[in-house]
A and B are shown apart, each in its own frame.
Chain A
Amino acid sequence: MNRKIKLVIAAAALALPLGGCASGAVGEGFSSHYALIGVRSVNVGDGSMAVTPPRPWNRQRARLFDDIRQVEDWTLNGPLLDGMSFVTGLRSGQYLIRQRRSEDRQVPKFRSDMTAPEVTAMLESLYRVRGGAVDFRTLSLTPRPFLGANGFQFDYEHLDTDELWRRGRAVGAVIDGRLYLILFDAARSHYYQNAIGDFEALVASARRRR
């Protein structure tokens, strides 16, 4: 009898919403999801690239099972509105994101012999397959030096299932068979213009460390 009561109470306790009434105070003390990036040189991804942001940004903390070590994401206003991503030393055969083998639709893996059009096609797949983009438009692909190598600049736009148009720019290069890339993606209305300057500053400041 006692055990039954305990079980009922335990079940009711489990029924409480996680972040709901039990969560307590309003306030901003609880922040294990994002870390502050200050205005100084910081190592990103697996540490093989360093950049210096022109103003503070928020770095998304790694989640144990979901993340690729070579990829790091930042945001200013939250990932629904803007995002800066860094790819550092992605090796041949690696994927940009974790996905289950059994998924119908998959993002292709990076190969070290990829040319710039193939890398950008891989990014387009990422948006269509993973991001749910229903329309994706390449605006331009031009040569651009990056980290001292012959790289490329990729400008694009996409319409997502929340019916919001977003715009992006990526600058990258394949160096010693590995992919290095900085990518900025944001809502086309206001948020892209708001931080594209930060993107350019980050690209200008980027250095390889090893």
Chain B
Amino acid sequence: MCMRCVELNRRSLLVGGGALAAASITGVAQARIRPQDMVPLIGPGYRPTDADERGLWQLMDRVEEEISGSSLLIKDPAITAYLQQLIGTVGGPAAKDMRIYLARVPDFNAMMFPSGFSVVFSGLLLRMRSEAQLAGVIAHESGHFLRRHMIRSWRDTRRKSDILAIGSMVAGVAGGAAGVNTGDLSQLAQLGTILSLLRYSRQMEAEADAMSVKLLADNGYPAAEAAEVWEQLIGEMDASARYRRRRRERRWDLFTTHPSPESRTADIKASAAEVTVPGRTYNNHRQRYLATIGPIRQMLLDDQVKLNDPGASQFLIETLARDGWNGLLRFYEAEVWRLRNRAGDDARAAQGYAVAVAYPDAPPEAWRWHGLSLIKQGRQSEGRAALARYLSLNPAAPDAPFIQQMIS
């Protein structure tokens, strides 16, 4: 089947930068950076004065204009306000009033730009188990932002790769209108181009890690949860590769020579111990986080599971289930098996649906698949009853005409 016939691997293009790239950088053979040494290099109301930095900001402004017009954005005011609050808290005063763009991309990533906006992928929200974990990722990005890594890294890149005398960014910009960059397959508005700005060195990633620990502790979050995020992510990547009988992809690791990130999480844990004040209470605000993303959680799980990467999806669901199973997670676990479709998976999935519908929060779709499984097992009347239940829970379902015909 041809479809668009485009060989697409979103992940290979999106991991170029941002928080996800950080996962593949490992801290090796250097002294741990102490969180106490991490002071912000910019304050509120910062504006660049150097020509090239001004040019960079103007570039980011135009990039932001494109992103804000993207059809891939999730425009949920409650969640956007929540993210804005969080970024303003953990990012410090310089990050207050940042503009937030939540993009519907089922990958783990978040990016923060000095010109005053952030991009968060829906895949990140799915994977976070608590507000502290999300704050940890955001604090890591804030670290890059507050320590001015982007301009430093960009100057480095330009020095190495520019062979022509192109002239200052400001002059080039003066004539210019914003153009449009669409159709360049998975460029996702301007995200592909701006990821080229997000290349941070190992040293910078270590600084951002240290900064994240400091920012978390300063704001009353348990700082060790920052390490958990990276452990979960690496675990997921490993599970995905293991299922396909491969080693975790090395192609992301453009800079590193060490395969394992243990030293990095060890550094984070040591830093966390340093900044944790004994006797002070820290709260990860798990319930508040889950309540906020509750309305879109099914959509996030759907987007992830339907990618049919069973190793990753199963690991992810089991990780989320460490905080308690519910109907939604049990349903999507069964969906992972149904799509995986190895020998015996249809029976496994059937059992999974049966378990899911026993929970009060099981989504209507769980009843549909439960009903279809029962019918395939020959349990006609039970199956039809389950399908009828599905229709009563979701009378406007798009497949209602078909399901109706099945039970009549």
* Chain A residues engaging chain B, CB cutoff 8 angstroms: 60, 68, 71, 73, 79-80, 83, 85, 87, 96-97, 101-109, 111, 113, 115-118, 120-121, 124-132, 134-136, 138-143, 152, 159-163, 165, 185
Contact = CB atoms under 8 A, between A and B. Distances in A.
Given A105-B307, A132-B186, A85 B1 contact: yes
Nearest to A90: B1
A138 B398 contact: yes
B1 A80 contact: no
Contact of A126 (B3, B185, B188): B3
B105 interface: yes
Contacts of B8: 130-132, 161
Contacts, number: 129
B45 interface: no
B308 A105 contact: yes
Contacts of A109: 341
B372 A87 contact: no
Nearest to B105: A134
A165 B71 CA distance: 9
Contact of A102 (B72, B246, B406): B246
Interface in B216-262: 240-241, 244-246
The residue in B188, B346, B372, B402 that gathers the most chain A C-beta atoms within 10 A of its C-beta is: B402
Contacts of B339: 108, 121, 125
B401 A140 contact: yes
26 contacts: A83-B3, A87-B1, A97-B1, A101-B244, A102-B244, A105-B307, A106-B309, A108-B340, A108-B341, A113-B376, A117-B399, A120-B399, A121-B339, A125-B339, A126-B1, A130-B3, A131-B3, A131-B8, A135-B104, A136-B306, A139-B398, A141-B398, A141-B402, A143-B401, A159-B72, A163-B182
Given A108-B340, A132-B186, 14 more contacts: A79-B4, A96-B1, A104-B11, A111-B346, A117-B402, A125-B306, A134-B303, A136-B306, A142-B402, A161-B185, A162-B183, A162-B184, A163-B71, A185-B3
Contacts of A113: 376
Number of contact residues on B: which range applies?
35 or more
A156 to B, nearest CB: 9
Contacts of A124: 306
B3 A102 contact: no
Contacts of A105: 307-309
A127 B2 CA distance: 10
Nearest to B69: A163
Contacts of B182: 162-163
Interface of B: 1-6, 8, 10-11, 70-72, 104-105, 182-189, 240-241, 244-246, 303, 306-309, 311-312, 338-341, 346, 368, 372, 375-376, 398-399, 401-403, 405-406
A132 B104 CA distance: 12
Nearest to A106: B308
A30 to B, nearest CB: 19
A143 B186 contact: no
B402 A80 contact: no
